[in-house]
């Protein structure tokens, strides 16, 4: 083929790309650079001026208005966060006015979510995200945003991004939205959909994700695919997760997989697998798994509570050895039976009383803390008694100083002189010290009375 023909074909290809407005690289890894919002601020305009254009029929003016208000959308949201103020609120009128104004602005921006123009739709979604961060009215904004039919990659990205970073509930993350993201030719959108899957049950997508994992060429792609299991998954997927964990090396992949373990619907199976196979696994991996569950301990996270309880009641010294026993004892001891969270962590107390050598250590820890508490109480009591014994001397010294000071004032009045303030400084200092001692005595006495 002659060089001229080569050039002619290249020019034709370039012309086709230009005429079709495509990059000629729109394969499955197509990535168009995203610019979140480009806008111009109008000289002399403030927030109120932009608000007047939110419903303007001219596309560029409506877009400019929404884009300029994104920066203050958080404040609009904050104005409605706690609802209407009570009538006795000192700022009742101002807060009421701000509430109704914010609701009005929100309603006007909502109309732009269904715009056929991607620029307006994208700006409106960004506004909604900022508004939601201030209002925290997820039950209103999340279903609204989740139902938007976006008209382009940029708008879809803002939709997926809002649902993810604002932690919208799983019920608002629709199959339609996930599928639209996963099928997108844009890498950002596909990745955002995988991240969003980590917030809901995505079992119907997991077989395809497992298939794609073996074909993924880069670590970022593999990590995103693994993160998609963070919502909830089945036994078939658990086999895949276990295999990947055992084969993993310390690093990002292992970190993601360890976190994903806590999303499996059958946590007893996770414990059984770890308990039976820990001696065959990399010790650093076993320790990381146990530590992850321990660090997740909280009254509202029953999964971690039950997992650590199972370890305590097992005879697996390897797993028990990775527990932070000191922290566990301290937290358990400091939880009173009257605390609201006591019932939530009851499995831990049951385990501590039925954990063999750990139970012996637990009882010894309790006795030591009880003894230290009693010693502290007795020390406070002794200090209170010492204060009571010393106070009469202070009262006597105070009376002497008061008499001396009164004589100074009387002498100054007779001679028509101003009294030197430095002469009465000791009286002030003694009064302050006496008041402090009386406060300490009364506080310690109150503590003593309560403990009895």
How far apart CA 209 and CA 222 sit, in angstroms, is 10
* Half-sphere exposure (Cβ direction) of 397: Cα atoms closer than 13 Å: 13
**29 pLDDT exceeds 80?**
no
Alpha-carbon distance of 175 to 201, in angstroms, equals 10
Alpha helices, DSSP H only, in 214-338? 219-227, 235-247, 252-261, 267-277, 283-295, 302-312, 317-321, 325-333
With bands split at pLDDT 50, 70 and 90, how would you rate the model's confidence at 342? confident
pLDDT tens for each residue of 267-297: 999 999 999 999 999 999 999 999 999 999 8
3-state helix, strand, coil in the chain (%, to 5): 75, 0, 25
Residue 30, pLDDT above cutoff 60: no
**CA 365 to each of CA 99, 320, 328, 351: distance values in angstroms, whole numbers, following the listed order:** 54, 17, 11, 15
Average pLDDT over residues 3-18: 38
Q: Which of 16-30, 239-253, 284-298, 380-394 has the lowest average pLDDT?
A: 16-30
Could you read off the pLDDT of 401-433 as tens digits, one per residue?
667 767 766 776 666 666 666 666 666 676 676
Weakest mean pLDDT among 69-78, 123-132, 219-228, 421-430: 421-430
CB 126 within 8 A of CB 37: yes
Report the topology of domain 28-200. Answer: 1.25.10
74's CB contacts (< 8 A; 6+ apart) are 130, 131, 133, 134
pLDDT recorded at residue 34: 44
Question: Which residues are CB-neighbours of 139 under 8 A, at least 6 positions away?
Answer: none
Q: Of 294, 312, 305, give the one whose Cα is nearest residue 342.
A: 305
Q: How far apart are CA 261 and CA 230, in angstroms?
A: 8
pLDDT at site 440: 60
Q: What is the pLDDT of residue 403?
A: 72
User: Domain residues of the chain, as ranges?
Assistant: 28-200, 207-265, 275-355, 380-451
Question: Tens digit of pLDDT for each residue in 148-160?
Answer: 999 899 999 999 9
**Cβ neighbours of residue 253 closer than 8 Å, sequence gap 6 or more:** 219, 222, 223, 226, 244
Whether pLDDT at 4 is above 80: no
- What's the pLDDT score for residue 439? 65
Q: How far apart, in whole angstroms, are the C-alpha atoms of residue 197 and residue 130?
A: 22
Average pLDDT over residues 50-77: 96
| Contact call for residues 95 and 86 (beta carbons, < 8 A) | no
Residue-level pLDDT at 155 = 95
Other beta carbons within 10 angstroms of residue 147's beta carbon come to 14
The pLDDT mean for the chain works out to 85
Residue 444 — pLDDT band, cuts 50, 70, 90?
low
- Buried b / exposed e across 275-309, counting CB within 10 Å, b at 16+? beebeeeeeebbebbbebbbeebeeeeebbbbbbb
pLDDT score at 308 = 95
């Amino acid at each position: 083929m002659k060089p001229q023909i080569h050039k002619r074909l290249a020019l034709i290809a370039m012309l086709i790309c230009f005429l079709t407005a495509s990059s000629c690289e729109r394969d499955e890894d197509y990535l168009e650079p995203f610019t979140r919002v480009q806008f111009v601020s109008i000289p002399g305009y403030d927030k109120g001026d932009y608000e007047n254009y939110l419903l303007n029929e001219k596309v560029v003016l409506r877009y400019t208005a929404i884009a300029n208000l994104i920066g203050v959308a958080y404040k609009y949201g904050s104005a409605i966060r706690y609802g209407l103020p009570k009538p006795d609120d000192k700022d009742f009128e101002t807060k009421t006015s701000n509430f109704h104004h914010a609701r009005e602005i929100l309603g006007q921006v909502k109309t732009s979510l269904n715009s056929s123009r991607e620029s307006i739709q994208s700006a409106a979604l960004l506004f909604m995200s900022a508004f939601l961060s201030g209002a925290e009215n997820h039950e209103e904004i999340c279903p609204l945003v989740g139902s938007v039919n976006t008209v382009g990659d940029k708008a879809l990205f803002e939709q997926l991004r809002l649902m993810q970073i604002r932690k919208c509930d799983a019920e608002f993350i629709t199959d339609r939205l996930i599928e639209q993201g996963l099928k997108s030719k844009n890498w950002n959108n596909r990745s955002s959909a995988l991240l969003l899957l980590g917030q809901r049950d995505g079992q119907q997508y997991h077989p395809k994700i497992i298939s794609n994992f073996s074909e993924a060429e880069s670590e970022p792609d593999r990590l995103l695919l693994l993160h998609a299991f963070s919502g909830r998954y089945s036994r078939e997927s658990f086999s895949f997760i276990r295999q990947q964990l055992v084969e993993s090396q310390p690093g990002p992949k292992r970190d993601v997989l360890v976190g994903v373990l806590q999303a499996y619907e059958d946590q007893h199976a996770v414990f059984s697998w770890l308990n039976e196979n820990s001696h065959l696994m990399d010790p650093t991996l076993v320790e990381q798994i146990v530590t992850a569950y321990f660090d997740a301990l909280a009254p509202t996270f029953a999964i971690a509570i039950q997992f650590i309880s199972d370890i305590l009641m097992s005879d697996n010294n390897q797993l028990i050895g990775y527990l932070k026993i000191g922290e566990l004892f301290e937290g358990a001891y400091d939880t009173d039976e009257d605390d609201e969270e006591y019932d939530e962590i009851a499995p831990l107390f049951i385990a501590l009383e039925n954990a063999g050598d750990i139970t012996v250590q637990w009882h010894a820890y309790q006795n030591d803390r009880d003894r230290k508490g009693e010693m502290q109480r007795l020390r406070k009591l002794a200090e209170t008694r010492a204060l009571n014994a010393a106070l009469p001397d202070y009262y006597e010294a105070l009376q002497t100083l008061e008499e001396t000071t009164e004589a100074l004032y009387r002498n100054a009045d007779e001679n028509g002189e101003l009294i030197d303030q430095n002469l009465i400084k000791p009286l002030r200092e003694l009064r302050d010290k006496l008041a402090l001692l009386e406060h300490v005595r009364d506080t310690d006495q109150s503590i003593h009375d309560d403990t009895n």
